[in-house]
Structure formats: structure tokens, C-alpha cells
Structure 1
Amino acid sequence: MFDKEKAFQTARKWIKEIGHVIREEIDQPRNVDTKTNPNDLVTEMDRKVERFFALKIRNAYPNDKILSEEGFGDHVTSLEGTTWIIDPIDGTMNFIHQKRNFAISLAIYHEKQGEIGFVYDVMADVLYAAKRGEGAYKNDQRLATLDDEKKFTESIYMLNTIWTTDNDIVDAEKIRALVKDVRGVRTYGSAALEFCYLAEGIVDGYVSFKLHPWDVAAGAVIYKEVGGVVKHADGSELSYLKQEPLVAGHKEIVAETLKHYLVLT
């Protein structure tokens, strides 16, 4: 039987515990490796944090599955049962270069539903958290639901500007038009934190095309609790099982984006 409250409190304790370790060791020399390309970075801290969660989960919840980034998880093909989706450090480039603007992202999905989401801004000691149906919080402050209306032309939009250059995933001309039509564009280097900024209402829309489940699973739980919309870039639902292009934002922003700007190649 899935005990949501117990899982929430347990996960929260673990996140705070390993977050303290990261802060204590933030100025130590890093061992930096690359994965799929020279800008796809991983450090010994990414692996240390993921190993920490994997050991804790397998000891306390031996029947649960783990979907994670750095090799300590399981081969997950379905979100049936209970699955922990973990990015130990979301925003590794920020972690290495800035020593801030990165987060621990942890979600718990039960029978294909996102039940719990945590995004922990480690250096700011800010914890975004949500339980499905119970609202979203920034530390102890409940986040307000989104306004009923939001004009696309008055929105602040988040996207990596690499998508405005020619690529084989999305029509870059359409993305350049999006940049011209919105009020402003931002990028923060951590998808998990970007979802939380959506949830706070300080930005309004978001597109990305190469994110993995661990990048977005927790943020999506949090964002949906304030009325946000998260969709595959073709308008369908995300599977949270593989790398998928997505759009997220206020419902009107998502509708406008899907109608006029997202043309997958």
C-alpha cells in the first residue's frame, strides 16, 4: 500500500540531509567527466547524491523502482507500481561553474500518477514541494494558483536559445518568431528550477526538446498543482519514461505555442 504522507516526509528528510552535504563540500575540487558530448557534464557529486538516494530507497522501499540519471537506477519501462524519478544535481554546468542555480529533483509516481514532487535549490536552501491534490509550496508558503488569463504577447518565456539556431528537431524559424512575439526570454540552466519559476508565476511559458524524465518529473508535479499545463510538443501527454520534447506554461500560453510555434521536423 502506498503511504503518500510517509513517503513525502521520508523523501523530504533525505533531500535536506544530502543537501547539507553538498553545501559543506561545494568548494572542494571537482572530478568532472563528460557523457554524450563535451557540454554534457557529470561530477563525482552527481554520482554521490544519486548513490545516497538509491541506497536509502532500496533499504526503505525494496519493491519500488528507481528511474535516475547516473546509473544507480533500474531499467524502467512502466510507471506501474511506485517509481522514484531522480536527478541528483539538475544543472550540473551551473553547479560546476557558478556553485549555485542547481537543484535536487525527486518525484514519486504511483500507478502512473505523479503523486509527490520535490525540487530543492540547494545553495538557497529553498525547497519546492507538492503532493497531488494538496497544493504546491515554496518552503512553508503555499503557492497561489495561476491567473485565469494570460496574454501570450505579455508573457516571459523560457527557452534555450540554441533552439533558435538551425537544428534537426524543431523549426528554428518558428522559434525565432516566438522570441519576437513574447515580452521577453530567459534561461536559467536547470529545468527543475525553471518549472518552479513557472509555478511561482514569475515566468509564463517554457519549451525544451531534449529533456529526460528526471529533468521534469518533479517540476511537473509541482507545476500542475498551481494549474499549470505540461504537454508533449505534439500536444499529447508526456510518458515520463524517455527523452521527450515539451511545452509547459499557463494554459493560454501552451495553447498558443502549440498552435503557432512548435513544428517538429
Structure 2
Amino acid sequence: MNQQQRQEIYETAKNWIYEAGNLIREHMDEPLGIETKSNPNDLVTVLDKQTEKFFVDRIHQYYPEHHIIGEEGYGDTLSEVDGTIWIIDPIDGTMNFVHQKRTFAISIGILHNGVGEIGFIYDVMGDVLYHVKRGEGAFKNNTKLAPLDKEKKLEEAIVGMNHFWLCENKLVDYPVMQKFVRKVRGTRSHGSASLELAYIAEGVQDAYLALSLSPWDVAAGIILNEEVGGIAGDIDGNPWNPLERSSSLVANPAIHQSIVEFIKEGRK
């Protein structure tokens, strides 16, 4: 993807995101038609589905040769990353959307031949857009984000992680993670993976850990963080695979390896 193509797709996608955000705000107080998916806490609403279809219809119209990976089932089933792929989460943080009407985002990452080219994370209620074009800087609205602080220490870090790390689980010995929590300065759980990653790129949070996430949860955030020097992959330090659900670790480069070592200590 050359610079001109990247710019054209970026401008088009940005306009669609603002349009979709307006539609969500206009209709969010109507009956949401809430359903569950994999478990009672895995929610989906009519607006999740309508918003994804909004993007898919437009991509098919304007970029019929592009591929789509979407949370709500309107995309493609892919086995390789050739070509241009849009990875879409229409409402990331649906539980927040349903219960709190805030702290949720539209998240879109665009890859070309496996390389992250464009990313958007739109905090719908805050009207804050995090956006990136590869090699041209990452931004919060019109403010360019600085490279991440490479002098950050783990003891000074704010880390996003939820309570599942501190309960019995299949991946990591939870007493080790309790020790980890005591080591860092503080932990947070915002309920939206894409916003957690946006906060890392902004420098107001330093890492994010998750036991199991899908590509649409993290694609845009990984592209955003790579632009400012962040490191992304799974909790064992392996590279991110945009076609697979996996554990996730995105972090400031100064503390990434320290977190990997902590997790390695607790691996079962």
C-alpha cells in the first residue's frame, strides 16, 4: 500500500467512523435488543450488529477487493493475511455500553499483506479519536502522541488487567500475578480492550494484559502502539497473529520483558 492509497483509505474510514458514532449516539436510548453469545456476560446488541453492517456495506461498495474480519459475523473467514484486511469491532466494550452508556469505542485496524497500515479507536461518548497511519505518527484528535518513555520502571507502571488474573485460571498461577500486582504502581480495568491500548499509546497507562482476545479487540490498538514504540504480542512474548484468538500483552518497551518474565514464572 503506497502513501496515496493509505491516505485515501484513511480519510474515507475516518469519515465513516464519525458517521457511525453519530448513529450510535442517536439510537443508544432506544430498545437495544440485548442478546448473549458465548456466555451470559458476552453481550451483543442491535446497535453492535447494525454498526458492523454499516461498515461492511460501505467497504463492499467502495473497496470490493478488500477483506473484512468482524466481530458480529458480517465479515469473511480468512486463512491468510494477503491483501487488504479491515478488522472491525463496532462497539468494543458492549457491557459498558449497555450498563453505563460510556467507555466504549469503535475500533478499526487495517492491514495490508499482514502489516498494520491504519488504525482508529473512537471513544464515542468522549468524542475522542485515536488514529494512526503507519510511518506518519499516531494522534489523539489533533495532538500527536510522543514516543513511549523508554525509562519507565515496572514499579512505576499502571497496568490494565481484570480480576480473572487473580483467580484460578488455566494459564497462569494466580499467586504469581498477585505478586505482580503488588509490584506495579497500580492496575486498572476499563472494560474496553481498544481503549486500554489507546491509553498505553497516549502514555497514561503502561501495559495491558488479557487472557483471551480476538483480533478485532486489539488490531487498531496494536497498530497505534507500534507507531509510538510499544511492543505487542501474546503473554509469552510471541508476535501477534491477526487471524487467531489468543492471550494478549501490549506494553511500553521498557517494561515488556519484565512482564513476560513474571508471567513465565507463573505458567502452568
Per-residue CA distance 1:53-101 (angstroms, 9 max, x = gap)? 1100011111111001001000011111110000000000000000010
Q: Which runs of 4+ in 1 moved over 2 A?
A: 260-265
2:111 is matched with 109
1:125 partner amino acid: D
1:138 partner amino acid: K
1:186 is matched with 188
Instruction: Give the stretch that moved more between structures: 223-232 or 212-221.
Output: 223-232
1:136 is matched with 138
1:117/1:222 contact within 8 Å kept = yes
Aligned-partner SS, 2:25 = helix
For the residues of structure 2 that align with 1:20 and 1:53, how far apart are their CA atoms?
14
2:164 is matched with 162
Offset of residue 111 of structure 1: 0.7
Which residues in structure 2 correspond to 1:84-123 (within 5 Å)? Answer: 84-123=86-125
1:9 is matched with 11
2:135/2:227 contact within 8 Å kept = yes
Instruction: Give the stretch that moved more between structures: 141-150 or 107-116.
Output: 141-150
Offset of residue 261 of structure 1: 2.7
Aligned-partner SS, 1:261 = helix
Per-residue CA distance 1:13-42 (angstroms, 9 max, x = gap)? 100111101111121121100000000000
Per-residue CA distance 1:100-151 (angstroms, 9 max, x = gap)? 1000000110010000000000011111000111110011110111112111
1:47 is matched with 49
For the residues of structure 1 that align with 2:233 and 2:67, how far apart are their CA atoms?
24
Paired-residue identity, % = 47
1:150/1:253 contact within 8 Å kept = yes
Offset of residue 172 of structure 1: 1.4
Give the TM-score normalised by the residue count of structure 2: 0.96
Picking from 186, 203, 206, the partner of 1:204 is 206
Per-residue CA distance 1:204-226 (angstroms, 9 max, x = gap)? 11111111000000011111111
For the residues of structure 1 that align with 2:207 and 2:110, how far apart are their CA atoms?
24
Aligned-partner SS, 1:230 = strand
Unaligned runs of 5+ in 1: none
1:213/1:240 contact within 8 Å kept = yes
Equivalent residues, number: 265
Unaligned runs of 5+ in 2: none
1:28 is matched with 30
1:177/1:261 contact within 8 Å kept = no
Offset of residue 163 of structure 1: 1.4
For the residues of structure 2 that align with 1:133 and 1:21, how far apart are their CA atoms?
31
For the residues of structure 1 that align with 2:107 and 2:80, how far apart are their CA atoms?
20
For the residues of structure 1 that align with 2:191 and 2:80, how far apart are their CA atoms?
28
Offset of residue 260 of structure 1: 2.2
